[in-house]
Structure 1
């Protein structure tokens, strides 16, 4: 079977299943219907091992989106990964990744959720280290180890669920939500979701995971790995009490703010888009903390579409620029690659919340919903400031890559000739334009009354315009005055390095303990401990045993010599 046929067969299967899942999801949503399928695998005495599958409108809609984006990414990979000698292996890894996500989505059982959760972690490690260099290995290790924290939390949650006699949490979660054990389970699940969705302080692995091939990044950052934590919390939203919700709200808003600031100081194209994903994940987590799981799910679906398109456009640009990812080498690409730049621009506008694109329907509704809630003024301020920062780094990205001065080599071959990549991007583009309004009609069929004063109603528009203006000014002056001024240098380094989180999670975890252990090794194992420790004791015991052995072998001679010495001493004493 050739490489092309594997891509096309996978693409067709995933697309067909996506359409079927979407139709079933709409049907289940309209009639308010859900199905739980249980398959009894083993029965030993009175112990049952049952595999459960939950089909409701939420799982079916999310599954259809994941399958659709996966099909587009696999079709896109046919051309992007054309030079790869191991295309079959790559496609198989992507399919395993999607299969793990499917298992996570349709599981109402904590054990089968853990299988999908661990499957995502293991396959993501294989995909991050796909290019097999030192940077990829380091990125894969930090990704895997940080996600292991979440896996451990889920394992502890599974053991706590022994108190209820079943791992099928959907049966008793709402009823037992006030129970102390269920609150502990809610806390553990929240920590697990924070690790997978890269919230503070687990954020550093998300930009590091950009070492994976770009099609994988499009899949990971839109609908699979990072959204698994948000989806799990949506499922467990019934047991988030006031304290857990408040904690989630603060962490989500801080993550959104931190990622928005970091993206404005970054020059790597893929890392800018990765930080924008982190910002949107913070938005989803914070709206979950406010208490609206439907809004979080709505933004999860709309964000999946435009983020996948944004990564596919970025991959096309990187592919044409011979692997260069620094946006300072780009500029005026709209002349050479018009279709790619149109797609990238529309995805950026959807991310910024441009009216009547996919992101507008969810982001505007979220901001208006937050305006009606009784929340802290600081949280409210950070919400809108982070929205302005989103527009700021989006316009900065457009300025550096699509417009501005051309900064690439004089001899180049930039063009839109990658027809397979273009077809997948244009197909995604149609959904980015239309899917927001479609989902808003489907998920919220009856209009919600939002009553706000005029200045709060136009607040989102004002911060977006202001953020765009700041982004343009930053791009125009290139922040030279900041980088050249010493007192601003440390501040820009702090903001641009995600508040030192990558340094803390790498140097603090391995460099400093290793350097301390080296000093201990030099001071103890190779120093005084060598004399007073095991080697010194061994040497002293050996010397003493040799002395006693010599004494025992020559006992008579030594006795006579000592007797002679004693007589000499006595003689000398008597003579005196």
Structure 2
């Protein structure tokens, strides 16, 4: 069984890795020759009705597929060691492959029907992966994830029904010249809502940290290049349609607030995987807000660079959790750099890439996004949201590094931390190389002309100001444990509000179910246990019981009653005769 499990891991890794290299070569050829291939394959033709499968291959879909295949191949190779104690490893690998192929179907689809297949496949397989460990917590997280994503599925179905007004479901034909049409206005609004559910923007944010119940390799895949990026990619494809729409202004506000909310919540969190999940949420907010400003190429650029260092970050977290005997609380960690130096190296570089430290992958996209945003004509509120959120990213990253690497070890007096096996390290070093190189490589390749952005000195240095402030606050919080200051600065309710994602997990679970559960309790009390009991089960029982008691008296005393009735009858007859 073990050899069979290992062989399926290796075969899947090799196949996906070679496919990603093929996509890379094709993408280079396409981008150099400015090519787009649109394939149509007729499945059924019946009279005038033809059912056609469409595939769109351009530099964007090929590049994204290359990243998805590369990360998924590395994740499967990593799972060979991480999930080595799993008896059904082949089942796990097959689920991951289904997940990846659903994402690829979504990437290459110019047709809203095949997009629905990929979109729904992602939602279904993500449910299976989140409940993989089969306990009560995983089940709750899986239901929250699946039901949040169902909202997006329903909206895509409604888009399909609205597009019956046109000749086909190949939406790319209608984006440009039909964008002033009323039907396309409705379609655009629904697409934005669907993308918000999949990419976990406010008010659908609570499922993303809950999905951490999945195994860590799945988290690395979900949070880097597959599930959460599907909404961003859909909006990139629909961007022509969405220009100058009112809903994009709403999306800008909501995604900015998502970025801010995730940054604050991550600073209050002590679960290692949830901190990284909230950082994903923050970066998704950044991508969606840049998209809503009408810059799809920049959003795509950040999507790709973010995928590399976020997958690496989750892999390092998985190794650390393994080393710590499955402990995820960062308060029990500390000083691990001395014991597992190579993992710590990968962890620190991916963390610094997340902060946008020059000249790592995150810097090329994040710095460009912030400077382009500084040049735009947006108001001060959005400007502050961006820069405060950037400062918060540095804040929780430095706090995490302090807790993991620099503070004293806190778990137990007898411990056995050792450098992990080479399977995990090899897979992490592939992503480490990409986390360093992919930013510069993509910026030279995607943008024909370099962006030269001229700003006043203070605005140019604004990123450095907020980053230094974040470093200072992160050091203070982790070294001096100043969370007790909350008691004096904030009320208990406000600090609690900041801690738990603005009460969103409660609102999306307890808040939604409370009304229905309360109503069903009243129905149970008043109908099932009340009137229905009186007039059906319990009432009938009481009436039957009363009558049966009377009949019982007759039956037990039947001779006496017979004599009595006979005498009574004779007396009545005599009275009648006398009269």
TM class, shorter-length = over 0.9
SS at match of 2:328: coil
Aligned to 1:128: 130
Deviation digits for residues 389-426 of structure 1, max 9, x if unmatched? 00000000001111111112121111213211011111
Aligned to 2:245: 242
Deviation digits for residues 472-517 of structure 1, max 9, x if unmatched? 1111222342355595432221111000000011111224421332
Deviation digits for residues 415-461 of structure 1, max 9, x if unmatched? 21321101111121011001100000011120223221111111111
Determine the C-alpha separation between the residues in 2 that align with 1:178 and 1:376. 27
Query: Which of 444, 448, 452 is matched with 1:449 structurally?
Result: 452
Aligned to 1:494: 497
Aligned to 2:139: 137
User: Which deviates the most, 512-521 or 407-416?
Assistant: 512-521
Query: Which of 259, 275, 281 is matched with 2:278 structurally?
Result: 275
User: Which deviates the most, 122-131 or 407-416?
Assistant: 407-416
Change (3 A) 1:43 1:528: same
Determine the C-alpha separation between the residues in 1 that align with 2:349 and 2:258. 25
Displacement of 1:2 after TM fit?
1.3
> Does the 8 Å CA contact 2:350/2:435 hold for their aligned counterparts?
yes
Aligned to 1:81: 83
Deviation digits for residues 256-304 of structure 1, max 9, x if unmatched? 0000000000000000000000000000000001110000000000000
SS at match of 2:494: helix
Count of matched residue pairs: 551
Query: Which of 54, 65, 68 is matched with 2:67 structurally?
Result: 65
Query: Which of 201, 204, 210 is matched with 1:202 structurally?
Result: 204
Determine the C-alpha separation between the residues in 2 that align with 1:250 and 1:466. 24
Aligned to 1:8: 10
Determine the C-alpha separation between the residues in 2 that align with 1:448 and 1:468. 28
Aligned to 1:42: 44
Displacement of 1:29 after TM fit?
1.7
Query: Which of 376, 391, 394 is matched with 1:391 structurally?
Result: 394
Aligned to 2:224: 222
Unaligned runs of 5+ in 1: 547-556, 572-576
Query: Which of 413, 435, 439 is matched with 1:432 structurally?
Result: 435
SS at match of 2:410: coil
> Does the 8 Å CA contact 1:482/1:492 hold for their aligned counterparts?
no
TM-score by length of 1: 0.92
1:93 matched to 2:88? The reply is no
SS at match of 2:44: strand
TM-score by length of 2: 0.92
> Does the 8 Å CA contact 2:319/2:420 hold for their aligned counterparts?
no
Change (3 A) 1:516 1:476: farther
Determine the C-alpha separation between the residues in 2 that align with 1:30 and 1:541. 90
Unaligned runs of 5+ in 2: 549-564
Aligned to 2:478: 475
SS at match of 1:409: coil
| CA RMSD in angstroms, aligned pairs only | 2.2
The 5 Å alignment of 1:17-416 reads 17-240=19-242, 241-416=244-419
Deviation digits for residues 324-359 of structure 1, max 9, x if unmatched? 000001001000111101100000000000011000
Determine the C-alpha separation between the residues in 2 that align with 1:319 and 1:398. 18
SS at match of 2:42: strand
> Does the 8 Å CA contact 1:416/1:422 hold for their aligned counterparts?
no
